[in-house]
Homo-oligomer: A and B are copies of this chain.
């Protein structure tokens, strides 16, 4: 998609005390929810400018350009803000798999009456993803 000026968007977002906002990534055509991560103002602005999704890594304390290491990038299709401005929904086109375990989605453990159940299989080995 075309670059989007981030000023009005950033003004609409209510970042938390750490300067972060949760962002849900959803595959734009199938509707599959892939993952949830966090963004800061800089990662929002970069995502809107480049059309490639960039998060903020709380563990590394820096920008996390999704797919930078694994090649599994997310191309932005639409950027939605919720009613109170404190959650983002990213509609994306996900290359390959979203999860670091090599599964398409991070949400692969279901709580069922019969117990915790794995509902998505590994498609790519993590060793292959991260070229260990």
Contacts and interface: CB of A to CB of B under 8 A. Distances in A.
Interface of A: 1-4, 8-9, 12, 22, 24, 26, 30-33, 35-36, 48, 78-84, 87, 89, 99-101, 103, 106-113, 115-116, 119
B101 A83 contact: yes
Contacts of A109: 12, 80-83
A89 B105 CA distance: 11
Given A36-B87, A89-B33, A89-B107, A116 B9 contact: yes
A9 to B, nearest CB: 4
Given A22-B22, A116-B9, A116-B12, A80 B36 contact: no
A35 B24 CA distance: 10
15 contacts: A1-B113, A3-B113, A12-B109, A24-B24, A24-B33, A24-B36, A36-B87, A78-B110, A80-B108, A82-B107, A83-B100, A83-B103, A83-B108, A84-B106, A87-B107
